[in-house]
Amino acid sequence: MKTKLISLAVAAALVAPAAVMAEATLYGKLNMSIDYFDTDGDFDGWAINKGRLGRGEGRANRIGVKGSEDLGNGLKAIYQVEFGVQMAEESTGSPIRGDNNITMRNSYVGLASNFGTLLVGRHDTPLKLSTGRLDLFADTAADYNGTIGFDDLRVDNAIAYISPSFAGFQFAGAVHAGGGSRATGDFGNPDSDSLAEAYSLAITYKNGPFYGGAAYEELSSDVIGPEGNDLNDYSKWRLGLGLLDWNGFTLAGVYEQQDDFLGSDADGDLWQISAGYKFGNNMIKGFYGENDNDAENLDRESWGVGFDHYFSKRTSAYILYTDVDYDADLNNDWSAFSLGMMHSF
């Protein structure tokens, strides 16, 4: 049923009058990779677009429509509807019955003016956005979420504000209304009745090649566990610094501290250093990072190297290798080789 509704919506958009579609933009990102995974536990072999059974991240393929309407006096109505699409079987490992569900990504309605942007809907948290551009391996098998374990969230019920830029500084804040939805995990608590069951704050600085971000995020136990749970509130703060494309060189570092990880009593310290050098239409890059977590079996160290080639501003190809080594000897170690291509439109 979801697929039929989406098909009807796309068809209606294609035949809509030009005047109606004047401010609408169709966009997307397609990312395909051929991967080889070597794990200590359950799988060694080839796959396509695989974040293999909790190892690594997916390729974040997406398609969306966004636009705005001028309301006068410098005020605009803005909107975005974005779908996550699976270009291959990316989760179950079955060549016959794959999980091909269409998912919702950042989708919202809001207002924008010289005083900033206010939006309501589903969106990445300010903490996630604060260091996204510092991950040189984003949306690949070596993404820093799947290797180091940084905890980025896209929340269901967000009310967010993003300020204008002041001399390079920009502020973002968001709250998450409970009401049966979730901020993380697989649970939703129907008794969550606060407008701010979770909140996220971030400040970033951009000036030429210099970039910095600092963020704090807290999630009530009501939105990370089932009704009647006795979990703790989960909080984390993150700091990121980067020198981006300075005479071809990029150097970035990210640190995150997690308190009461996912409502448990476990605390974590995570960090990653990455570097890259761009020459012509090519870039070589690498990273190293560690996750020191009180939770059993989560301690790990990870590294990766990669090479990118840019055919154009919108199309690139990449090759990478990444390795994740857990301290606990429970068959969790894994490594991956990936050859891929990205296209944005």
For 26-53, write each residue's pLDDT tens digit. Answer: 999 999 999 999 988 667 889 898 765 5
pTM: 0.88
> What CATH number labels 2-344?
2.40.160.10
pLDDT at 297: 73
Q: Check whether 23 has a pLDDT greater than 80.
A: no
- Determine the Cα–Cα distance for residues 244 and 210; give it in Å rounded to an integer: 6
β-pair partners for 70: 76
Phi, psi of 12 (to 5 degrees): -65, -40
Residue 28: how many other CB atoms lie within 10 Å: 15
Instruction: Tell me the pLDDT tens digit for each residue of 83-119.
Output: 999 888 776 544 444 556 789 999 999 999 999 999 9
Instruction: Tell me the pLDDT tens digit for each residue of 190-205.
Output: 566 788 889 999 999 9
Q: Where are the domains of the chain?
A: 2-344
Residues 302, 126, 120, 80: is their CA dihedral positive or negative? Answer: negative
Q: Check whether 345 has a pLDDT greater than 90.
A: yes
Instruction: Tell me the pLDDT tens digit for each residue of 155-191.
Output: 888 999 999 999 999 999 999 887 655 556 555 565 6
Mean pLDDT to the nearest integer, 52-76: 88
pLDDT at 184: 61
Read off the pLDDT band of 227 (50, 70, 90): low
- Determine the Cα–Cα distance for residues 117 and 79; give it in Å rounded to an integer: 11
